[in-house]
Structures are given as C-alpha cells and as structure tokens.
C-alpha cells in the first residue's frame, strides 16, 4: 500500500523533471526506479518526492531532484565508465549513477553520513566504492576517471580533480561563493586543454577541504 503510494509520487516527480528538460531516457528509467525516500531521515519521508533539497543531518542536504537529474544529464555517464563523486551525503546521487551502469567511487568527509550511505548501498546491494576523506584531493589510486561530479560548491576547481579526469572526460562542479554558484561543465580535451561551459545558478552546501573552503 505504502510502496504503491510512493510509486505514484515518484512518477509524478519524474514527470516534473521531464517538464523541466530532463530527456535522457536511461536516466528517467533510473529516476523511476531508485527510491529517494530510503535516502532521507524518517521524518522527511513524506517530502521525499517533492522537488526540493532536504536535510540529512550534520547540516547537510540531499540535493534537489532536479539538480541531481540535471547534473547527471550533463555528466552523461555510460555503462562501465568509472565515475568519481565528491560529497556522498545521503548516497542518492551515487545510487543514480550506479543504476545507470557506471562504476561509482564516492567520497564523503562526514563519518556519520559515510556510515549511513554505506548501510544503504549494502541494503540495496549496490556495488559502490566509498571512502571517508577530503574529496578535493580526489582518489588517485583509481584515477583516471571518465567523469567526476562534485555535489558541494567550492571557490575554485580543485587541481587534483582536473588531473584525475581522463582525456575526453567531464567534470561537473558548482563554483562560486558560499551562497550562489554556477555549475561548471568542464571537458578535458587534453592534459593541458579544458573547455568550460557554465550554467547559472545553483546553491549547494560548501565544499570543505584542502582545495575547498576552510572549515570555520
């Protein structure tokens, strides 16, 4: 009964996202399948299929569904590709990428969020490599990545992430001040040549780390 209800709500949400310009059919199928209510705290479940960001603890949020869908569509992950995510948070974005067939590597700096995301990945039987550390320095051991997605907003593009991106790969990252960012979609054309497209405006929680904002 309850599950059916969420299925209807999920379908309605996906229709809203399609109305806002989400057109990648593989992505749409995954958005219809992945249960966002499993990634939010119990008291937030009733709001899980509204197109809004929701608090997940530690002052962090699960991104707005449209933002997740838009960033994923820009990243355009293909099955088998190696994708690095910085900012695991609830784990929802990582689950979407995994659902699309990517080999997902994700980094979260908050231990509590890392632990609860790991539990959800296990429960959903998702093969996602996760680590608790500062994602602004990347994950060199598994580089180069075919795509990198950063789900927290930083002041500048971390050099290590550009280095760890494969030639031909895309890096999607919000850059700006702490209140407002533009989404930069950066294509690595060669080791020294990057093409950047900017999409205004988004608001993310701050990217905190060596190549991000300093923690207060």
**72 scored as a contact of ligand SAH (CB under 6 A):** no
Q: Please provide residue 138's backbone torsions phi and psi, each rounded to the nearest 5 degrees.
A: 75, -160
CA 68 to chain centre: 6
User: Judged by CB under 6 A, does residue 109 bind ligand SAH?
Assistant: yes
Instruction: With contacts defined by CB under 6 A, name the span among 5-13, 18-26, 69-77, 105-113 that binds ligand SAH.
Output: 105-113
Residues within window 80-99 making contact with ligand SAH, judged by CB under 6 A: 86-87, 89-90, 92-93
- 138 secondary structure, DSSP code: -
Total site size for ligand SAH, rule CB under 6 A: 25
Query: Does 62 engage in binding with ligand SAH (CB under 6 A)?
Result: yes
Q: Considering the rule CB under 6 A, would residue 63 count as an interface residue with ligand SAH?
A: yes
- Strand boundaries in 7-164, DSSP class E: 54-57, 60-62, 82-86, 103-108, 129-132, 145-150
Burial (0-12, 13-18, 19+ Cβ within 10 Å), 102: buried
Active site residue 63: yes
Rule CB under 6 A: which residues touch ligand SAH? 60-63, 86-87, 89-90, 92-93, 107-110, 113, 134-136, 151-152, 205, 207-209, 212
């Amino acid at each position: 009964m309850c599950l059916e209800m969420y299925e209807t709500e999920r379908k309605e949400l996906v229709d809203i996202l399609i109305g806002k310009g989400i057109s990648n059919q593989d992505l749409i199928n995954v958005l219809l399948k992945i249960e966002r209510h499993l990634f939010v705290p119990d008291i937030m479940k009733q709001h899980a299929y509204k197109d809004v960001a929701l608090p997940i603890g530690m002052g962090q949020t699960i991104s707005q569904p449209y933002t997740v869908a838009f960033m994923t569509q820009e990243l355009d992950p293909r099955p088998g590709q190696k994708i690095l995510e910085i900012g695991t948070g609830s784990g929802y974005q990582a689950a979407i990428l995994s659902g699309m067939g990517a080999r997902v590597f994700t980094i979260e700096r908050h231990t509590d969020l890392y632990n609860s995301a790991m539990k959800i990945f296990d429960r959903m039987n998702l093969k996602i490599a996760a680590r608790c550390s500062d994602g602004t320095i990347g994950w060199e051991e598994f580089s180069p990545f075919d795509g990198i997605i950063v789900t927290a907003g930083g002041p500048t593009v971390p050099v290590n992430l550009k280095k760890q991106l494969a030639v031909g790969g895309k890096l999607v990252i919000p850059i700006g001040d702490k209140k407002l960012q533009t989404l930069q979609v950066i294509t690595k054309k060669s080791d020294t040549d990057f093409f950047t497209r900017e999409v205004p405006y988004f608001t993310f929680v701050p990217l905190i780390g060596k190549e991000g904002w300093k923690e207060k």
